[in-house]
Structure formats: C-alpha cells, structure tokens
Amino acid sequence: MKKIVFVGAGMATLVAAEKLARSGRFETLVLEKNARENISYDWHDDINRAAFEDNLLPMPQEGTYFTKRNWTFIPPSENAEVTLDIPEDQLDLSIERRLLAEQYIRRAEDVVTFRFSTQADALIIEGGRVVGVRAGDEKIYADLVVDNSGALSKLRESLPEDSGVLRRPKEDEIFVAYRAFHKKQEGSSDPESTNRAYLKHLGEVGISWSILDPSGSVNVLIGRVGGLPKETFINAFRALKASNPNISDEIVRGGIICKIPIRHPLERMVWDGYVAIGDSAFMTIPMIGSGVENSMRAACILADVILSADSLDKQTLWQYQVRYYLDRGATHMGVDVMKRWLLGCAPKSLDWLLQKGIVGKKEMAAAATGKMVKLGLGEMIGKLFKGISKLGLLVSLSNVLTKSNRAARLGRAIPKTYDEKAIAKWQAKITKLYR
Ligand SMILES: Cc1cc2nc3c(=O)[nH]c(=O)nc-3n(C[C@H](O)[C@H](O)[C@H](O)COP(=O)(O)OP(=O)(O)OC[C@H]3O[C@@H](n4cnc5c(N)ncnc54)[C@H](O)[C@@H]3O)c2cc1C
C-alpha cells in the first residue's frame, strides 16, 4: 500500500487524509508539531457554510459556533462607515477553531495515524525527488509528502531551486497580526455596529478591528503587512481603544502574534513526491487572509484527483492544481491585484472612495468574500459623475479592475496537462504581471 505523509494537522490535512485513508488504498500518517490539546487556535474564526455544505463535510457541532454579524468598514480618517447588509443565511459562521479541529481528528483517527508533538524539519530528497521527511533524527519515508505546514513552511524551503516551487514569500506577502479577546471595559456602552474594521488604520499598510463578541469580550486584531513593530502596535492599540472605549487592557483569550499569507496561490504546488496545500500553497483570500474554506475545498480536490487516477505522480498531482485554479485560485489572482492597489492607495484616496460611495457595500462585500470586484459601464459612468473631481484616481481604479480581470484570465489559462515548458511560460507571465 502506498504511503502518504501529511505535515501539519490543519483543516486541509484533516479532510484529505481521512478521505484517502478511508478508501483503503493509502496508508496515511499525520505529523503535527503541537500537542493534541494545543492544536489550531483557542478562538473562533469565520468560515462560510459552503466549506461544509458544498464539500459534503460534517457541520461543526452545535454549541461550537454562532452566526457572524455584518462588517462595518471604516476608512483611515474615520469620518465615514460602510456597513454591509449580507442576509443572515449567507453570513459566515464564527466557529471555535480548536473544537472544529478536534471534531475532525476524532472523525479521522480510526483510519489515519496521528503523531502529535512531532515537528518535521525538512524534506528528504533523493534521486531528484522527495522521498520523505526528516523529524529530528528520524527519517520517515513516503511515496508522497503533503505539505500543510503553513506559509513559512520549512519543507518548501528545503526544495531545490529548480523545482520551480516558491520557497519563501516576499515580506509584503505576509500579514503580521496581533489577535486577542479583551475583557469589556466595565461601564462602557455597546457600539451600534458591532464588527468594526479599520482599513489602513492610522494610514498604515494594514487593518485593525474591534468586534464586540457575543461572549461579552472584545475581539481585537491589529495587523500590518510585512511586520508589526512594537511601536506600531502600541500606537494602533491606543488609537483603537480611543475609538472603541469598550476595549480594556485585560486579555481573556489569545494575545499572540501570527502570520497570515496574503498573496495569490503558488504558481507551482507540486513536484515529484511533493504537494503543497492550504496556507503552505498560499490559498487564503489575498484581500483578507481567510483560508479555512479554501483549504477544505483544496483537500477535497486533492483526494478526488488521487483516488480517481489511483496515482501519486506529478502529472496526476498537477490536475489538483489545475482544478483548484479553475475553482477559485484564478479569481484570487485577480483579487491579489486589487489588494496590491488598495495597499498602495493613499489614505486620503481611500477616505474619498468610501465617503463618495464609489466603493460601496457591493464592492466591499465582494472584497471581503474573495470575489472579483465588478463594475459595469453604466455603474462606472454613474461613479464618474460622483467623482469627476478626482478623475485620475477613477482612471487608476478602472485600470486596476482591468488588470485584475487580466490576472484572473491568466490564472484560468493554466496549462491543463503537465508540460514543463508550458508551465514555465505560464509562471513567467504571472511573475511579470505582479512585478
Ligand atoms: C489571527 C488569524 C485570524 C484568522 N481568521 C480567519 C477567519 O476568520 N477565517 C478563515 O477562513 N481563516 C482565517 N485565518 C486563516 C486560517 O487560520 C488559515 O488560512 C487556515 O488555518 C489554513 O489552514 P491549513 O489547512 O493550511 O492549516 P493551518 O491551519 O495553517 O495548520 C498548519 C498546521 O501545521 C503545523 N505545523 C507547522 N509546521 C510544522 C512542522 N514543521 N511539522 C509539523 N507540523 C507543523 C501547525 O502547528 C498547524 O497545526 C486566520 C488566521 C489568523 C492567524
């Protein structure tokens, strides 16, 4: 029986390993660096119901989630607000991450072998292919290594340069965030809009949020692209508290700094004996860093491709990448173009775009859910009337929308079969587009 080693017990692994093992055709081993009781995060995150419903996967257990409320977006000057009105049945679920992971581990453990508190350090490469992983002094051999160990994967870094797989992301492709639930300040009143996201907070490259949690605490995030120096954090926390007096200094959950990938998916996710998935393949929505639904979708695609072809060779694995790109990866290429433009946009321009309604509920809802921002000709003319005073900015917005569409088209033009030359050419076009 062929052996597959999964590195990292993220949601992608928990879904794919279970499916592959349950077929009875593969032996699956999961290596996870954390102890079982410390897996994932000690808080809830927002995941769309589609992650479960569309993939026919078990819903989180009752009592481990609630329906998230609509976002209110606030531009840098803080003198405008856009509150979304996504209907209740389409809103994300805020799900306890650790409990969801534990539910999926229990579901898989009769067929999958888990080794917790085991960190994989590097890939073992022999004869020009990956043949396993090294964990401390131990060598673990396998027919395929599935890398689910995150954006800064040590395994990906240990691939040879000529694999064509990106080994390290650029600094500005990583979002560094403080996340904590703070005790609500005694005597403070509740804000009218509960989920408040500050875009380019203080004019800096990143966001902050303050969300009044149903538990009564306040969910705080302060994140900046590329890094979060101590001074930046202290200033941002002070400013966030001034705008949201319900935040106290006392932390009740979390309180850690984490790294989230915010770029389009890897141009190459596969090599001989190796495949990347989830954050390790940069599958988050580039605009907001949400990745759980994408990881679960990718896991279903990977398992399906392997089981259908009954093969682990790179020609088969390439089909996984093709299907992922056609499913959503290509769209995320377009979203990445928009994200780069917004991050480079002057704070005053962002203020103006939101105040004038040039970027309104529809556009913000698309951005927040990883969809393409679309503007028809009629809509664009309407916006032109509202924004004639800033024609240059509108032209720039129109150009970026065009480029965003071009990026998505390029993503969909992924070579449909494994052809080294065609893939290298496609990859070069992508590099040029984002240069
Ligand atoms: C503050 C914050 C808020 C977020 N909010 C949301 C949200 O609301 N919605 C959403 O969809 N996403 C959110 N995300 C992103 C989301 O957490 C990730 O996209 C998602 O968890 C990726 O899943 P994955 O399957 O790639 O595995 P991951 O969750 O990345 O899991 C990787 C696993 O690999 C393990 N590991 C790492 N290195 C090794 C190694 N060398 N050896 C063995 N094990 C290793 C880790 O311990 C971890 O368990 C958020 C992330 C952060 C940090």
Give the tens place of pLDDT for each residue, 193-203. 999 999 999 99
Please name the residues in contact with 4: beta carbons below 8 A apart, sequence gap of 6 or more.
17, 20, 26, 27, 28, 29, 142, 143, 144, 145, 146, 312
Record the tokens describing residue 333, joined without a space: 């290429």
Give the pLDDT confidence score for residue 362 in this predicted structure.
87
Which has more confidence, 387 or 74?
74
**Ligand 1 centroid distance, CA of 343 (Å):** 23
**Ligand 1 centroid distance, CA of 404 (Å):** 27
Atom of ligand 1 nearest to the CA of 153: 38
Domain ranges, ordered by start, for the chain: 2-64+95-167+265-330, 172-261, 336-411
pLDDT tens readout for residues 302-356: 999 999 999 999 999 999 999 999 999 999 999 999 999 988 899 999 998 888 8
DSSP 8-state class, residue 222: E
Give the pLDDT confidence score for residue 176 in this predicted structure.
98
Reported as a pLDDT band with limits 50, 70 and 90, residue 380 is: low
For residues 154-168, give the mean pLDDT. Answer: 96
Give the pLDDT confidence score for residue 66 in this predicted structure.
97
Pocket flag, ligand 1, residue 278 (CB < 6 Å)? yes
The residue nearest atom 3 of ligand 1, judged by CA position, is 45
CB neighbourhood size of 402 (10 A): 11
Pocket flag, ligand 1, residue 150 (CB < 6 Å)? yes
**Ligand 1 centroid distance, CA of 321 (Å):** 20
Alpha-carbon distance values, 342 to 30, 152, 200, 318, 345 (Å): 39, 24, 9, 32, 5
**Ligand 1 centroid distance, CA of 39 (Å):** 10
Give the pLDDT confidence score for residue 377 in this predicted structure.
61
Q: Which amino acid is at 294?
A: N
The residue nearest atom 38 of ligand 1, judged by CA position, is 149
Kindly report the average pLDDT of the chain as a whole number: 94
Is pLDDT at 384 greater than 70 in this prediction?
Answer: no
Of 209, 290, 293, 369, the residue with max ligand 1 atoms within 8 A of its CB, to mutate for a pocket test, comes to: 290
- Of the chain, the end-to-end C-alpha distance in Å amounts to 45
The CA distance from 227 to 205, in Å, is 10
Is pLDDT at 378 greater than 90 in this prediction?
Answer: no
> In the beta sheet, which residues pair with residue 115?
31
Give the pLDDT confidence score for residue 360 in this predicted structure.
83
Give the pLDDT confidence score for residue 387 in this predicted structure.
64
Q: What is the DSSP string of 169-232?
A: --GGGEEEEEEEEEEEPTTPPPPSSSEEEEETGGGSSEEEEEEE-TTSSEEEEEEEES---HHH
Atom of ligand 1 nearest to the CA of 179: 1
Give the pLDDT confidence score for residue 364 in this predicted structure.
85
Instruction: Determine contact, residues 240/210, Cβ cutoff 8 Å.
Output: yes
For residues 136-155, give the mean pLDDT. Answer: 98
| 3-class SS shares of the chain: helix, strand, coil, % to 5 | 40, 25, 35
Atom of ligand 1 nearest to the CA of 14: 25
Pocket flag, ligand 1, residue 32 (CB < 6 Å)? yes
**Ligand 1 centroid distance, CA of 298 (Å):** 14
According to the CATH classification, is domain 2-64+95-167+265-330 in 3.40.50.300? no
Q: Do 2-64+95-167+265-330 and 172-261 agree at the fold level? A: no
The CA distance from 367 to 373, in Å, is 7
Q: Which amino acid is at 400?
A: V
The CA distance from 170 to 80, in Å, is 33
Angle at 8 between CA 2 and CA 9, to 5 degrees: 90
Query: 232 phi and psi, to 5 degrees?
Result: -60, -45
**Ligand 1 centroid distance, CA of 40 (Å):** 7
Sheet arrangement for strand 2-7: 113-115, 26-31, 2-7, 144-147, 274-276, 270-271
In this predicted structure, which of 268-272, 373-377, 395-399 has the lowest mean pLDDT? 373-377
* Residue that the structure tokens 């999958």 belong to: 112
Instruction: Determine contact, residues 146/7, Cβ cutoff 8 Å.
Output: yes
Helix axis angle for 314-324 and 292-309, nearest 10°, is 140
- Among 397, 225, 430, smallest CA distance to 330 is for 430
For residue 302, the surrounding DSSP H or E stretch is: helix 292-309
* pTM score: 0.95
Record the tokens describing residue 205, joined without a space: 């490259």
Instruction: Determine contact, residues 16/104, Cβ cutoff 8 Å.
Output: no
Give the pLDDT confidence score for residue 356 in this predicted structure.
84
**Ligand 1 centroid distance, CA of 218 (Å):** 22
The residue nearest atom 31 of ligand 1, judged by CA position, is 10
Q: Produce one character per residue of 352-366: b if its CB has 16 or more CB atoms within 10 Å, e if not.
A: bbbeeebbebebbbb
Q: Give the CATH number of domain 172-261.
A: 3.30.9.10
